[in-house]
Structure formats: structure tokens, C-alpha cells
Structure 1
Amino acid sequence: MSDTSTFHKPDRRVAKSKQALKQALLSLLAGKDFQSVSITEIVRLADCNRGTFYAHYEHKDALLADVLGDVTSGLVEAFRAPYRDKDFFHLDELPYTAVALFDHVYLHAELYKTMLNGNVLPNFREQLFQALKSAALDDLYVDPNEASSKINNELQIIYQTHALLGLTLHWIEEGFKYTPDYMAEQLMLILNWRPGKVIMKHSRKP
């Protein structure tokens, strides 16, 4: 009988090495821009050698791309959490506690703050948007029997994705002024709010 534990050891070593390299890069990016980071600095901080680095990545841009892949996949997974394993759901019946996106971002606060630095990855926001938009377009569709069925599904998803991402990024840039629970609750209130009359602020009495 083969030793299955021996079979899995190389994969664990690879995962551990790659995680150390990714963490080293993120630590360095907290204090300097990406172009200034050298592979020598990365491997030194990760406590490995250049051979280990090149065994996994062709260059540091590939390492950064791997980090971005982790970020976007984690964000998409958190986005899908409220409706995972469901055939359908009613938005107005969805409890705010089902929203996992803000918990995910807060758990990885330093990572998001670092990646939002324009010197790290200038198009980071756009890549997050594309990841969320693709997930929503793949997963969600308005019930054609609903009164809102005249709304173009793609345009609705693009609108809501921009709104969700904008709200999340504002929260990060404001230094996590509110708790994840508060943000989730506010998100659900906003999504379910159907305004009637809108009053211009200049017409309000002091």
C-alpha cells in the first residue's frame, strides 16, 4: 500500500513556499511601490532562495498576478455566499447577516489597503469590478414574471456592481469607519429602498 501522506507532501511544500512569497511581496508593498521591489528582497523576506522563486514564478509580475488572483477569488466567493446552493431568493427576505463580503474585506483589511495603492496595481479597481460583474452575470437573472422584468439584466448588474464596489472601496478608503455588520445592514436597506418623491436639498427649510 502506498503512503498517501508522502504523496501529498510536495504539494504542501509548494503551497507553503508560494504563500511565503506572496506574503513577503505584500509586506514590501506596504512600504514601497511595486517597481521598487526586487526579487532579492522578496526571497530574503520569505526566507527562501531565488531558485525557489523561479520554480514557481517567471518574474515578480507573475507573483503579483497570483496575489491578485487570491484577492479576486476570495471577493467573488464572499459575494456569492448569500445565494450559494440556492435556486432563487427574494432580496427583501435576505437577512443582512447572510452578506459575507464586508466580513471578507475586513478580515483582509491590510491586503486591500495595500492593493488599492495606485503604485501597486493601477487597474486593481477595474479588475475587482470585472470579477464581480462576471460572477453576477454568470449567476443572477431577474425573474421574467416580476414587474421589473423590463429592466435589462446586464445593465442592472453593471449598475449594481459599480454601486456595491464603490461602497466597499469607500469603506476601505475611509479607514473602515463602520463595522462589517453595519455595512451589510446598510447595503440591504439601500437595495430594498424604493424612493417615491425626491426632495431637492436647496428647497428644504433650515
Structure 2
Amino acid sequence: MDKNVDRRVRRTKTQLKQAFIKLMGEKNYDQITVTDIVNQADYNRATFYRHYNFKEELAEEIISDKTMELIETFKYPYKKKSLIHLNSLSPSDIIVFDYIMENKDFYKLWGKFESIPRFEESFLQSIARFYKKEIILLTPNDSELDDDLYTSFYANGILGMIMDWIKKGLEPDPGYMAKQLIKILNYYPAESFIGNRETGVLP
């Protein structure tokens, strides 16, 4: 009986979340009401309030769910072994872009979700915190290199690439992005200079 109840609860909450995401594509966050959500999900208000106190609580749970799911994609290459040599990674080891594409109904609304207070900050901080706490980067043998700063630079660089891809509408395709991320992870530092990026004029 408990399993059946749990299954019904999960199904109901899933449908409420799907209804909310669909409404985010049609309205601004502050325009969406509990009545809108239950009408979209074909439930009544009593059902909603059995699971959530207000729409903000529903939104927070969606953000938490998506954050944890995304974190699981970062763990994927470590499922079989705890030590990974970056130069041994293949595009098939990088599933984060495929996952985002599979959940494009949510990620293509990133700009709309940014209207939810602390949405992007909460989302990115959770992922960066995971990366810093659970991924140990074997840094170059340099006593003057701060390992925490190195990991922070590394994690935020990867997140920046992913977020830029999301905000550009999930283009190019996930396979291309996975290949590029691997190339970037294994690339030696490039020389830098001040020039014109558009014209290619060097100093």
C-alpha cells in the first residue's frame, strides 16, 4: 500500500512540475497562479496544497531536481573507476550535453526561469560546490599553486561553457560540444594577446 501511495505522490508531483514548466513557456513567473498550475495539470487546488504550500515551493523543488540530475551527469565518467586521466576521456563519457538536450523543455526556458529569485545563483552554486567537494584534481607539481583556486577556476570554466551553450539555444549539437569540451580539457595553455577578435588583427 505504501508503495502505491508513493507512486501516486510521485506521479502527481511530476505532473504538477510538468504543468508549471509548460506555463513558464507561456507566461512570466509572477503571472502564474496555483489555479493556472492545477488547471494545466487537470487537478484541483486541494491536490496541489496536499504537496506544496505555495508555487514558490514547487519551483524550488523543480530547481533542486534539475540540479541533482545534472550533477549525476558529471559523475558518469567516474562510475567505473575513481581515477580518470583526462586524455583518456572520449565524447561518450561526456553525457551532460545529451542530458540537457533530453530535458530541453526546461533548459530552453532558462531565460524565463532566471526571473525566479536566486534561480541561477542557486543552480550554479550547487553544481560548483559538488565539483569542488567531490572531484579531486591532481594539480601540477607546483608548491605555489593553490589547489582550491585551481579547482574553482576549472569548475567554473566548465560551467561557463555549459551555461553559454544553454543560453545560445542548445546549439551546436551535443556531440560537437562533448568533443570540444574534451579538447579544451586536454589543451595546453594558449598564448594570449590584445588584438581584434573579429578581424584577426594581431598586435
TM-score (structure 1 length as normaliser): 0.87
**Distance of aligned partners of 1:173 and 1:115 in 2 relative to their CA distance in 1, 3 Å threshold:** closer
Residue aligned with 1:193, SS:
coil
Give the match for residue 153 of structure 1. Answer: 147
Aligned position for 1:66: 61
User: What amino acid maps onto 2:4 in structure 1?
Assistant: K
Q: Which runs of 4+ in 1 moved over 4 A?
A: 202-205
CA deviation vs aligned residue, 1:100-155 (integer Å, no higher than 9, x gap): 111111111120122332553243222222121121122122337x4356532221
1:74–1:120 distance in 2 versus 1, CA, 3 Å: same
**Residue in 2 that maps onto 1:181:** 175
CA positional deviation for 1:200: 4.6
Is the CA contact (8 Å cut-off) linking 1:103 and 1:180 kept in structure 2? Answer: yes
Unaligned runs of 5+ in 1: 1-5
Secondary structure, aligned partner of 2:112: coil
Q: In the TM superposition, what is the alpha-carbon distance from 1:98 to its structure 2 partner?
A: 0.1
Q: How far apart in 2 are the matches of 1:18 and 1:58?
A: 13
SS in structure 2 at match of 1:141: coil
Taking only aligned residues, the RMSD between alpha carbons, in angstroms, comes to 2.1
Determine the structure 2 residue equivalent to 1:88. 83
How many matched pairs?
Answer: 199
Q: Find 1:125's aligned residue among 115, 120, 133.
A: 120
Q: Aligned residue for 1:44?
A: 39
Letter in 1 for 2:30: Q
Q: Deviations over 1:144-190 (max 9, x none)?
A: 7x435653222122212222122112212222221111101101101
> Is 1:53 equivalent to 2:55 in the alignment?
no
Q: Which runs of 5+ in 2 are unaligned?
A: none
Rounded to whole Å, the distance in 1 between the matches of 2:201 and 2:114 is 43
Aligned partner of residue 116 in structure 1, secondary structure: helix
* Structure 2 residue aligned with 1:170: 164
Structure-2-length-normalised TM-score: 0.88
Aligned to 1:18: 13
Contact kept, 8 Å, 2:29 with 2:112, in 1: the verdict is no
Percent identity among equivalent residues? Answer: 31
- Separation of aligned partners in 2, 1:26 and 1:116: 13
